[in-house]
Amino acid sequence: MLLTMVLFVAKVYASVRSGSLAIIASTLDSLLDLLSGFILWFTAFSMQTPNPYKYPIGKKRMQPLGILVFASVMATLGLQIILESTRTMVSDDIDFDLTKEQEVWVVGIMLSVTLIKLLLVVYCRAFTNEIVKAYALDHFFDVITNLIGLIAVLLAKYIDGWMDPVGAIILALYTIRTWSMTVLENVNSLVGRTATPDFLQKLTYLCWNHHKAIRHIDTVRAYTFGSHYFVEVDIVLPANMALQEAHDIGESLQVKLELLPEIERAFVHLDYEYTHKPEHAQAH
């Protein structure tokens, strides 16, 4: 967080020295880095402080929700930049000029920030946590936007001033595309989307080979619950089996399924036949 604040101050200075819309767009992105850092830190902290009375099924959805809020803000910023850049282009009052000293400062700051962000990308990608991966994506986005902003400034200085707002628009479109895809990905994780056929096949194999007394597997469901899956399994056992033995088989299967890293919670239903309609039919 402290490093992000330092980089933000440096880019504010570059924006003031250059007056470039593209650099300003990149600087506003760094401002959102501070906001996103707080959002992602808050969600990570919330997930580490469980409260079984208020949140009996845990706080796993805090993770995609935090990423969803962050991505939505990023996409909104991109739209605002497009509107401002378009207004500048149609105003016929594009006057862009940098002194040699200003150019040296802007180029030096933007290249330094880009190099630091590139190192942060490599560092964050070494982790498996989804929130840290979101940081890696954000830092990689910063590398791209910094380079686009710098190129736009140099083209506007040496070729034509209208290339600066064009660079800002390109930057904004990249912002919207990148974070819209992130929004769609995390929406799918919140709405209970089914697991892939390969994963369902893996669950079916584990259930079928769990115990020799299992006669049939009636239902195997796995659907997203935040970044993990909820699993529902219906197995058929002999009708005359003792309750204690049937309970132990079902409970041990539940424990086995919940040991899989992709699964947050597993529910195992025991039955003695499979000709009835599935339980918990969907409401119409």
pLDDT tens digits along 1-60: 566 677 778 777 777 777 677 777 777 767 766 766 676 677 667 767 777 677 766 666
Instruction: Answer for the pair 109, 45: CB distance below 8 angstroms, yes or no.
Output: no
Taking the C-alpha atoms of residue 221 and residue 199, their distance in angstroms, rounded to an integer, is 10
Cα–Cα distance measured from residue 178 to residue 171, given in angstroms and rounded to the nearest whole number = 11
Contact by Cβ (8 Å): 3, 116: yes
* Exposure on the CB side of residue 200, measured as CA atoms within 13 A: 14
Average pLDDT, the chain: 80
Which secondary structure element, helix H or strand E, spans residue 269, and what is its range?
strand 263-271
Rg (CA), the chain: 26
Q: What is the pLDDT of residue 276?
A: 66
Two tokens, residue 82: 């497009």
**pLDDT bracket for residue 284 (50, 70, 90):** very low
- DSSP-H helix ranges across 91-162: 100-124, 130-158
Could you read off the pLDDT of 158-195 as tens digits, one per residue? 877 778 888 888 877 877 787 777 777 777 777 788 99
Nearest to 135 by CA among 281, 4, 277, 282: 4
pLDDT at 283 over 60: no
- CATH number of the domain located at residue range(s) 197-271 in this protein: 3.30.70.1350
User: What tens digit of pLDDT does each residue of 119-132 get?
Assistant: 888 888 887 766 67
Residues 6+ apart with CB under 8 A from 169: 81, 82, 85, 86
Task: Give the pLDDT of residue 60.
Answer: 66
pLDDT for res 36:
65
User: What's the confidence (pLDDT) of residue 67?
Assistant: 73
pLDDT score of 46: 72
Domain boundaries, the chain: 2-190, 197-271
CATH of 2-190, one of 1.20.1580.10, 1.20.1510.10, 3.40.50.620, 3.30.540.10: 1.20.1510.10
Q: Per the confidence metrics, is the pTM higher than 0.75?
A: no
Phi, psi of 230 (to 5 degrees): -100, 140
The tokens describing 99, both together, are 């002194």
pLDDT in tens, 71-122: 777 777 778 778 877 887 777 666 666 677 777 878 888 888 888 888 888 8
Residue 53 neighbours by CB under 8 Å, 6+ apart = none
Residue 237 confidence (pLDDT): 95
